[in-house]
Amino acid sequence: MFDVNYAISTFPQILSALKVTILLAFISTLIGTLIAILIVVIRERKIPILNQITIFLVSFIRGTPIIVQMYVVYYGLPQLLMFFKSQGINTNPNGLSAMAIAVVAYTLNAMANLSESIRSAYHSVDHRQYEAAVSVGLSPFKAITRIVMPQLIANLIPNYSNFFIDLTKDTSLVYNIGIVEIMAKANIVSSIGFKYLETYLDALIIYVLVCWIIAKLFRYGELIVRKRVFQS
């Protein structure tokens, strides 16, 4: 029978792992966003060689499951560092933590997916507005920051929100490489008390609440941005 008291008593234990989940999702998305912006610039300007490399990289990452990417980074990154060390480059392949490997893997995933979202948001803005702004005396920089960027950000937020929520849920896979986040904590607690439904239901509730809060925050941010764009 389902033990309500056990589910309530173990909830705080599983909730304590939330900070790891949020930290991993936040750091990976932040770094991935910065790299994604660079990729968008490369692709929009069609920089030779780099453009072809980024197209292949983005397509490859978006076409493979994140758990496969994580395992490739987990086993491949130390070997890459060992190769660099053999070439005389000072690296320490034994000093990599599981968290660092997870951040690299999830950052690559964020980079690929967010670059496409940013490009889509960029192309959704009518560029005749930019040309009109420049023609009436605005500098190219001001035209970009005052006309294009606010609309781009407003159009980007829904996809950005969806990706961040998906990535937050996908962090449940990192227990495979030894990181104790929500799912790993639920596994540990359930293996001690042998009450699996109760602990996994705790984890489910935490994920639902966290994703609901994230969605609401992004929605609120989108409303603020769109209001400012409309008023301006």
Tell me the average pLDDT across 62-79: 93
Number of domains in the chain: 1
Q: Residue 202 maps to which CATH number?
A: 1.10.3720.10
Confidence of residue 206 (pLDDT cuts 50, 70, 90): very high
Q: Give the predicted TM-score (pTM) of the model.
A: 0.90
* Half-sphere CA count of 126, side-chain side, radius 13 A: 4
**Alpha-carbon span 172 to 181, nearest angstrom:** 7
Domain that holds residue 214: 4-231
* Exposure class string for 68-97: b at 16+ Cβ within 10 A, else e: ebbbebbeebbeebeeeeeeeeebeeeebe
Q: What is the mean predicted confidence (pLDDT) over 18-44?
A: 96
Please list the helix, strand and coil fractions of the chain in percent, rounded to the nearest 5, in that order.
85, 0, 15
- What is the pLDDT at residue 230? 67
Is 115's pLDDT higher than 90? Answer: yes
